[in-house]
Amino acid sequence: MSTVFIVGAAGKVGRHLVKQLADKQHRVLALHRRAEQGPELEALGATPVTGDLTGTDVAALAAQMAGTDVVVFTAGAGGAGVEVTNAIDGRGLELAVDAARQAGVRRFLLVSAFPEAGRNKGMGEGFENYMTVKKRADVYLAATDLDWVILRPGTLSHAPGTGRVSAGPAIAYGDIPRADVAATLVALVEHPEVRRTIIELTEGDRPVEDAVAQLART
Q: For residues 27 and 2, is the Cβ–Cβ distance under 8 A?
A: yes
DSSP tag of 160: P
Burial class (CB in 10 A: 0-12, 13-18, 19+), 208: buried
Q: Which of 97, 130, 185, 203 is catalytic?
A: 130
Q: Name the CA dihedral angle for 21, 23, 29, 33, rounded to a multiple of 10 degrees.
A: 90
Q: Give me the helices (H) in 78-175, please.
A: 82-85, 93-103, 125-142
Residue 130 is a catalytic residue? yes
Under a CB-based contact definition with an 8 Å cutoff, are residues 189 and 152 in contact? Answer: no
Q: Are strands 155-157 and 147-153 parallel, antiparallel or unpaired?
A: unpaired
Q: What is the DSSP letter of 102?
A: H
Count of all residues that appear for the chain in the document: 218
Residues assigned a catalytic role: 130
